[in-house]
């Protein structure tokens, strides 16, 4: 298993849009198949199911890397720590491996310094081993670095897939020695139907999903695809072993069309 900073598995199980029994069964199945990195968020409404699946899996806590994210309504001194402790209770754990600011969009327009200070406090109080951000642009990263040193920001989790390669932001983070985690690697399934990716998969004798996972990892990213099917979970794992040629990687890089899937009305002004 490939690890980031000797801790975070590069391939994780994402749980966005998974609810109730579906969330529970998917996470439990992923753990049975060997996944050890589980990503959730307060707003997903599935932390309790994720926590129960982890508890029922029998996997030692020390072998897991669990991430959750603080929602916009909790980015204030009154709610922040309380919300994190509630997440811990639902997840049935004493600590998080990674705690992220989900969006730079506090509901009451709190200054970034306020909620990043709360984020650092959560780490200082050992509620989280590592902290980071999500959906931060270059400008927002620059602002964040005025409050937190780059060494404290474990990752910036952003949308990355062949139709949105986000190279400018990734390059900025790399220059700051901040890891990039890519979410929605399949662009909600769209890139799995792309002719270039399908042709590469056919030539390799594998699935398009394996090609996309291999492309993500070859670019130095970690990624957190979501799936409810055993076959797809296994295919995603297999993508870690697939090697793509420089020509194949370049062909996929050229698919970038700045096509964003996650773009709520409170999104920041994205980098081009």
CATH code: domain of residue 100: 3.20.20.100
137 is in which domain, residue-wise?
3-187+221-227
- According to the model, what pLDDT value does residue 138 have? 98
The answer to whether position 198 is within a domain reads no
State the first-to-last Cα distance of the chain, in angstroms, to the nearest integer: 33
Residues of the chain with pLDDT under 50: none
- Clarify whether 183 is annotated catalytic: no
The answer to whether position 119 is within a domain reads yes
- Report pTM: 0.97
The answer to whether position 267 is within a domain reads no
Looking at the chain, the number of H-run helices and the number of E-run strands are: 10, 10
| Nearest-5° Cα angle at 75, 134 to 171 | 20
What's the CA gap between 39 and 69, in Å, rounded? 9
* Matching residue, tokens 């900073």: 5
The answer to whether position 39 is within a domain reads yes
What backbone phi and psi angles, to 5 degrees, belong to 231? -60, -40
Write the pLDDT tens digit of every residue in 75-87.
Answer: 999 999 999 999 9
The answer to whether position 126 is within a domain reads yes
- From the candidates 35, 44, 115, 172, which is the catalytic residue? 44
The answer to whether position 205 is within a domain reads no
The answer to whether position 115 is within a domain reads yes
* Matching residue, tokens 């398009």: 208
- Evaluated on CA atoms 13, 51, 126, 132, the torsion sign reads positive
Tokens matching residue 6:
């000797």
What's the CA gap between 184 and 42, in Å, rounded? 18
Q: How far is CA 22 from the centre of its chain?
A: 19
Number of structural domains found in the chain: 1
**Cβ atoms within 10 Å, residue 80:** 21
Which ranges of the chain would DSSP assign to H, the alpha helix? 20-33, 47-57, 80-91, 112-124, 138-144, 167-175, 195-204, 208-218, 230-238, 246-253
The answer to whether position 196 is within a domain reads no
- According to the model, what pLDDT value does residue 253 have? 97
């Amino acid at each position: 298993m490939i690890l980031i900073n000797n801790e975070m598995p590069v391939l994780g199980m994402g749980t966005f849009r998974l609810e109730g029994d579906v969330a529970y069964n998917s996470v439990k199945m992923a753990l049975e198949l060997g996944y050890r990195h589980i990503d959730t968020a307060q707003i997903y409404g599935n932390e309790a199911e994720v926590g129960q699946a982890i508890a029922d899996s029998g996997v030692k806590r020390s072998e897991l890397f669990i991430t959750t994210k603080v929602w916009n309504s909790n980015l204030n001194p009154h709610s922040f720590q309380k919300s994190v402790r509630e997440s811990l209770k639902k997840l049935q754990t004493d600590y998080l491996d990674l705690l992220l600011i989900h969006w730079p969009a506090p509901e009451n327009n709190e200054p970034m310094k306020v909620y990043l200070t709360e984020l650092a406090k959560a780490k200082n109080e050992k509620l989280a081993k590592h902290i980071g951000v999500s959906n931060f642009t270059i400008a927002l990263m620059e602002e964040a670095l005025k409050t937190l040193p780059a060494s404290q920001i474990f990752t910036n989790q952003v949308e990355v897939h062949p139709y949105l390669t986000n190279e400018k932001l990734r390059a900025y983070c790399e220059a700051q020695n901040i890891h990039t985690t890519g979410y929605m690697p399949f662009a909600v399934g769209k890139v799995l139907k792309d002719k270039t990716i399908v042709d590469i998969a056919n030539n390799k004798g594998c699935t398009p999903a394996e090609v996309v996972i291999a492309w993500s990892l070859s670019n130095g990213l970690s990624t957190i695809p979501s799936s409810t099917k055993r076959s797809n979970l296994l295919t995603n794992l297999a993508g870690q072993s697939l090697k793509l040629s420089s020509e194949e990687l370049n062909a996929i890089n050229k698919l970038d069309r700045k096509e964003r899937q996650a773009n709520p009305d409170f999104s920041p002004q994205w980098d081009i």
